[in-house]
Amino acid sequence: MDPSQVNIPPMKDLTTENITENVIQINSLCEDARMKYVLERLVHHLHDFALETRLSSNEWITGLNFLKEVGQISSDVRQEFILLSDVLGLSILVDSIDHPKPKGSTEGTVLGPFHTHEAEEMTQGDLMSNDTKGEPLLVVCTLKDMNGKPIQDVKIDIWETDSSGHYDVQHPDRDGPDGRCIMRSDSNGVFWFKAITPVPYPIPHDGPVGQLLKKLRRHPYRPAHMHFMFEKLGYDHLITYGLSSCLCYFIWTETDHALLSALYIRNDPYETSDAVFGVKDSLVVDVGKASAEVSRKYGVPEGHAILTYDFVLMTIDETSYLRDQKSREAMDNLGYKVKIVDGLPIPDVD
Amino acid sequence: MDPSQVNIPPMKDLTTENITENVIQINSLCEDARMKYVLERLVHHLHDFALETRLSSNEWITGLNFLKEVGQISSDVRQEFILLSDVLGLSILVDSIDHPKPKGSTEGTVLGPFHTHEAEEMTQGDLMSNDTKGEPLLVVCTLKDMNGKPIQDVKIDIWETDSSGHYDVQHPDRDGPDGRCIMRSDSNGVFWFKAITPVPYPIPHDGPVGQLLKKLRRHPYRPAHMHFMFEKLGYDHLITYGLSSCLCYFIWTETDHALLSALYIRNDPYETSDAVFGVKDSLVVDVGKASAEVSRKYGVPEGHAILTYDFVLMTIDETSYLRDQKSREAMDNLGYKVKIVDGLPIPDVD
């Protein structure tokens, strides 16, 4: 930026009392109203954090060095900043803000780092895990809209670990995809398949984020769960992202019509202490036993482990209406008049 | 952390309304009371930032990718996170918190990235810049304590750019140190030397921080200034740090008895828009002209450019008393009962 091209508002004499307004003033040259607002809030909170903690120079450089390490361990296959965001509860918060869910609609959760684009399309009843050490599990689900109407032909991406708590991509010598599949819901909104009962596993904790967890005396475990990603034109989209691992694939794809969720197995030892805060009561399920009728219908022995769930998807319109409403409420509380531009709130200064 | 060794408080069902308290609760296992407090405030502000901006998933990943880039461009000789902290006003704020200055005491400022440990010790009146294109400048300063008593034998580190706005270390073909020296105050607290009139220059702006400044329509310039670092047992110490540059030396040395300051030349085009917010009114000085008396005393032609300044240093005790007082005030405003441990405040929950 050529300084002669910009009319910078002069700063006042800087003190701890006015540095914040001075920084915001100089940033207010930004022509992107949304970015200007985000930066204003960022600078406010960053400064208030330092002021309220009386942050020392030593703590400040320790923090910056930590962030540097987080950046430096990151790579195409390891996203330590996403991991940091996850363990601080920011990821699940942003998901909740971006994908608000009314009562009755299936809640979202964090994606985790282990989604790939390799999964094979399978047909109803297929076996998606070849791990013979796992406990066989029958999964039978339905997909409905907010009015209870079945949604057919939804593309469903499903993935889980093997019985040792590792995803296929974490095994360097793997032959191909395993523990993952793509299915499509039928005319009744039903999809069903055979899998294994999920087990808990730790998030990657050999880097700076793992060290932070250790200092906080927190464990790195996620409770047992199975991932689902739903995709259909017109239904709430989700921008998928991945946690990181030196062994995992990182994905960052804008799947315009996918909704992400996961089911958690009840009574897991980490059910109430998920390292990345992904568990929601409505997503916790019991593993049941197949009745005689289920046994006949799905071709499994009587008493076979079974997981059932009825997913309820919102349309894009329903989601964005709710998101706008909650944005207006939140900014109202801040005392801002608000306008929504491209789905995001900015203060209305006109 | 072995999960069986830790008694984790169970989390409630997570919503946008309670995620913050849940994260703080799980972090409260931390045994370091100060770290626990800093994390509590960090999580509060991080979450409030997301809630108040209604941060979108897209913005979230853009931010995390930006931080990753900041980490990845960093090296031993380039500290992009410090640069980021500088342009957001955080560095100068932390300095103000850690080194509070009452009226009458010389204010601190940011160090910048260009201090080295190469400077040669010089005697009164020596020439510290060999740049023949620079405008010669006589510098005459005094050093006193808060009671107006001269402080002798203070070690003073001084550095400035050449006339092109570059420090010696920015020239790959340099022979040795130039534009820098170490002096000692005499029994009257006086030190004086010959230099060149400082000129403005840009901070390193070829990385992610430079791109941020550009998006904010901010320029990367610092107004003309000369750096001073004072060191004497018993006087306010400062932990020095450096901005970054691909060309500069990075220093991070705990100089236990050094105070850092800088003098800014009045009417610089960037005086009121310093990219790193270092300028304070009390540090802005006029370049004057040598009188006949000065000319005789210091051996320069009459009318020669001259810069004079009277520095006032606080003792360690004076500084820490003031710091504790301001910490108590700030935490009082938050409604916390406070105790000071190792010079840093934590809530007193006993």
Indicate the domain borders of chain A: 1-55, 80-314
pLDDT digits (tens, 9 = 90+) for B83-129: 999 999 999 999 889 888 888 888 877 776 677 888 999 999 999 99
Q: Which residues of B touch A218 (CB under 8 A)?
A: 1, 6, 8, 26-27, 29
What would the mean pLDDT of B180-187 be, rounded to a whole number?
A: 96
Nearest to A26 among B67, B95, B218 (CB): B218
Q: How confident is the model at residue A251 (pLDDT cuts 50, 70, 90)?
A: very low
pLDDT of residue B258: 58
Q: Which residues of A touch B11 (CB under 8 A)?
A: 272-274, 277, 279
pLDDT digits (tens, 9 = 90+) for B35-56: 999 999 999 999 999 999 999 9
* B137 CA: distance to closest CA in chain A (Å): 26
* A175 CA: distance to closest CA in chain B (Å): 32
The pair of three-digit structure tokens given for residue B99, joined into one six-digit string: 């080194």
Distant-in-sequence, close-in-space partners of B116: CB < 8 Å, separation ≥ 6? B159, B168, B169, B177, B180, B249, B251
Q: Which residues of A touch B2 (CB under 8 A)?
A: 219
Q: Hey, are the CB atoms on A43 and B89 less than 8 Å from each other?
A: yes
Q: Which residues of B touch A89 (CB under 8 A)?
A: 19-20, 22-23, 43, 47
A117 vs A251 pLDDT, higher one: A117
* A158 CA: distance to closest CA in chain B (Å): 22
pLDDT digits (tens, 9 = 90+) for B207-252: 999 999 999 999 999 999 999 988 887 776 543 333 332 222 233 3
* A186 CA: distance to closest CA in chain B (Å): 31
- Does the pLDDT at position A6 exceed 90? no
pLDDT of residue B237: 53
What would the mean pLDDT of A222-243 be, rounded to a whole number?
A: 72
pLDDT of residue A237: 54
Q: How confident is the model at residue A243 (pLDDT cuts 50, 70, 90)?
A: very low
pLDDT digits (tens, 9 = 90+) for A278-302: 888 889 999 999 999 999 999 999 9
A314 vs A36 pLDDT, higher one: A36
A15: nearest CA in chain B? B96
Q: Hey, are the CB atoms on A45 and B45 less than 8 Å from each other?
A: yes
What would the mean pLDDT of A173-193 be, rounded to a whole number?
A: 94
Q: Hey, are the CB atoms on B98 and A273 less than 8 Å from each other?
A: no
Q: Which residues of B touch A69 (CB under 8 A)?
A: 71
Q: Hey, are the CB atoms on B23 and A281 less than 8 Å from each other?
A: no
Q: Hey, are the CB atoms on B8 and A219 less than 8 Å from each other?
A: yes
Nearest to A92 among B19, B81, B326 (CB): B19
Residue B222 CA to residue B243 CA, distance in Å, equals 12
Chains A, B: CB pairs < 8 Å: 296
pLDDT of residue A78: 79
Q: Which residues of A66-97 are buried (b: 16+ CB within 10 A; e: fewer)?
A: bbbbbbbbbeeebbbbbbbbbbbbbbbbbbbb
Q: Hey, are the CB atoms on A216 and B29 less than 8 Å from each other?
A: yes
- Does the pLDDT at position B267 exceed 80? yes
The average confidence (pLDDT) of chain A is: 87
* A71 CA: distance to closest CA in chain B (Å): 4
Check if the beta carbon of residue A264 is closer than 8 Å to that of residue A282. no
Q: Hey, are the CB atoms on A277 and B95 less than 8 Å from each other?
A: no
- Does the pLDDT at position A37 exceed 90? yes
Q: Which residues of A touch B259 (CB under 8 A)?
A: none
Q: Which residues of B touch A219 (CB under 8 A)?
A: 1-3, 6, 8
Check if the beta carbon of residue A226 is closer than 8 Å to that of residue A195. yes
Q: Which residues of A touch B22 (CB under 8 A)?
A: 89, 277
Q: How confident is the model at residue A88 (pLDDT cuts 50, 70, 90)?
A: very high
- Does the pLDDT at position A255 exceed 60? no
pLDDT of residue B241: 38
Q: Show the 3-state SS of chain A.
A: CCHHHCCCCCCCCCCCCCHHHHHHHHHCCCCCHHHHHHHHHHHHHHHHHHHHHCCCHHHHHHHHHHHHHHHHHCECCECHHHHHHHHCCHHHHHHHHHCCCCCCCCCCCCCCCCCCCCCEECCCCCECCCCCCCCEEEEEEEEEECCCCECCCCEEEEECCCCCCCCHHHCCCCCCCCCEEEEECCCCCEEEEEEECCCCEECCCCCHHHHHHHHCCCCCEECCEEEEEEECCCECCCCCCCCCCCCCCCCCCCCCCEEEEEEEECCCCCCCCCCCCCCCHHHEECCEECCHHHHHHHCCCCCCEEEEEEEEECEHHHHHHHHHHHHHHHHHHCCCCEEEECCEEEECCC
* B177 CA: distance to closest CA in chain A (Å): 27
- Does the pLDDT at position A347 exceed 90? no
- Does the pLDDT at position B350 exceed 60? yes
Q: How far is the first Cα of chain B from the last one, in angstroms, to the nearest whole number? A: 27
Residue A55 CA to residue A65 CA, distance in Å, equals 15
Residue A16 CA to residue A236 CA, distance in Å, equals 44
The amino acid that residue A325 corresponds to is Q
* pTM, to two decimals: 0.87
Q: Hey, are the CB atoms on A216 and B39 less than 8 Å from each other?
A: yes
Check if the beta carbon of residue B263 is closer than 8 Å to that of residue B307. yes
pLDDT of residue A233: 79
Architecture of the B80-314 domain: Sandwich (2.60)
pLDDT digits (tens, 9 = 90+) for B306-317: 999 999 988 888
Give the least confident one: A10-24, A169-183, A336-350, B238-252: B238-252
- Does the pLDDT at position A254 exceed 50? no
Give the least confident one: B55-59, B132-136, B185-189: B55-59
pLDDT of residue A258: 59
pLDDT of residue A75: 85
Give the least confident one: A29-43, A85-99, A314-328: A314-328
